[in-house]
A = this chain, B = another copy of it.
């Protein structure tokens, strides 16, 4: 009857479950069994399963059949040991708790990586960490324990020890991040964030906006920096006065706070470009609270195009990247590298600029 506000019901005593195949754990079927059944040597079987020539068609058939019937596949552990290759790659993700469940990058990137990996039968071992120390430790473990053959390096920072660290560890990697012109010798694989921001600024300019602010992401990340730079360069190119900029950290709270700060200015902007959708939406909400109408009084642009973007009021104008394909490309490149091939340059789809209703003509003064 009462609508209690926050307290919770008591915990479910959660049951437990195992599906341990009971009974006498039968001996694992091995390559030897397959060889025996097919009446060939173990190496013949090995050859067939590694796609190497040197096995007659007849034998080959028998081997495949025997393996099929026995339900045998090469044991990844044994194979890893003898080939000195784990056939798996690692991804360590470092995230603040709040951003974890809202960040559209991580799940899509992982899905894309998987998609690229599964084609070549590589596995992805994932590690989520919450701090610098645990992150470094994760890479060290990956390397020393030979759990993975290579890793992805994401969320590149403006001053980043990790690439050097990985070289030291002898762990191959691909850098994942926006194209950062001349930032380092190693080119990351990435989409053109900057182009998206430029489009946003031009779009606002065309709508008559002359005072365009930016709410940036956490300053330590290269992708924050790339977006910030693109914004300021485009502003300059259009001959506008540099608009106000506020450093934030990608969280909703920071987006709201930054928006209030901007609106408190003596000369508040008529449009704001946010570094991600979460901040943009929180900012929109903050503005609405103050009686500022979007887009009538204030235009807002986000970045990411989260699935919710079309469904908020008003629907959010934003920048969309194909993160899935990005992940695929990274995966293929990493596999090429660990297998000693020259990576085929990835072709990534261009970023898109999605115009919805959170941007509109600048109001006449």
Given B13, B17, B351, which contacts A174 in the complex, CB threshold below 8 Å?
B17
Interface size on A, residues (CB 8 A): 130
Interface residue A188 (Cβ < 8 Å from any Cβ of B): yes
Cβ contact within 8 Å between B75 and A145 = yes
Decide if A352 is an interface residue (CB 8 Å cutoff): yes
Shortest distance between the CB of A232 and any CB in chain B (Å): 18
CA distance A341 to B199 in the complex (A): 58
Contact B307 A101 (CB under 8 A): yes
Q: Which residues of B contact A57 (CB under 8 A)?
A: none
Other-chain contact of A19, B98, B103, B126, B171 (Cβ < 8 Å): B171
In the complex, what residues of B have CB within 8 A of residue A106's CB? 107
Is the Cβ of A4 less than 8 Å from the Cβ of B353? yes
Q: A77-B77, A126-B126 are in contact. Are A206 and B1 (CB under 8 A)?
A: yes
Q: Chain B contacts of A168 at CB under 8 A?
A: 21
| Chain B residue with the shortest CB-CB distance to A85 | B77
Give the interface centre of A19, A141, A186, A288 by most chain B CB atoms within 10 Å. A19
B2 adjacent to A145 (CB under 8 Å): no
Q: Provided the pairs A3-B203, A313-B285 are in contact, do residues A141 and B95 lie with their beta carbons within 8 angstroms?
A: no
B352 engages A97 (CB within 8 Å)? no
Provide the bound-state CA to CA distance between A331 and B268, in Å. Answer: 50
Find the residue from A72, A127, A128 having the highest chain B CB count within 10 A.
A128
Determine if B20 and A172 form an interchain contact, defined as CB atoms under 8 angstroms apart: yes
Partner of A9, one of B251, B284, B313, B350: B350
Stretch of A37-45, A58-66, A110-118, A216-224 lying at the B interface = A110-118
Known: A9-B192, A172-B20, A174-B16. A307 touches B98 (CB 8 A): yes
Task: Decide if A104 touches B101 in the complex (CB within 8 Å).
Answer: yes
User: In the assembly, how many copies of this chain are there?
Assistant: 2
Q: Are B308 and A308 within 8 A (Cβ)?
A: yes
Would you call A102 an interface residue if the criterion is a C-beta within 8 Å of the partner chain's C-beta atoms?
yes
Contact B173 A19 (CB under 8 A): yes
Which 5 residue pairs of A and B lie closest in terms of their CB atoms, listed nearest first?
A15-B187, A8-B350, A21-B170, A3-B203, A3-B206
Binding site for B on A (CB under 8 A): 1-21, 25, 28, 71-78, 80-81, 84, 86, 88, 95, 97-104, 106-108, 110-111, 114-115, 118, 121, 123-129, 134, 141, 144-147, 163, 166-175, 179, 186-192, 195, 199, 202-207, 251-252, 255-256, 278, 281-282, 284-285, 288-289, 306-308, 310-313, 315, 323-324, 329, 333, 337, 343, 345-355
- Excluding A8-B352, A12-B191, A125-B126, 8 further A-B contacts by CB distance (< 8 Å) are A1-B202, A5-B355, A6-B352, A14-B346, A15-B189, A17-B189, A88-B125, A95-B107
Q: List 23 A-B contacts (CB under 8 A).
A: A1-B205, A7-B352, A8-B351, A10-B350, A12-B191, A12-B348, A14-B329, A16-B189, A17-B173, A19-B163, A21-B168, A73-B141, A74-B145, A97-B111, A100-B107, A100-B108, A102-B104, A102-B307, A107-B107, A256-B311, A278-B308, A282-B311, A289-B313
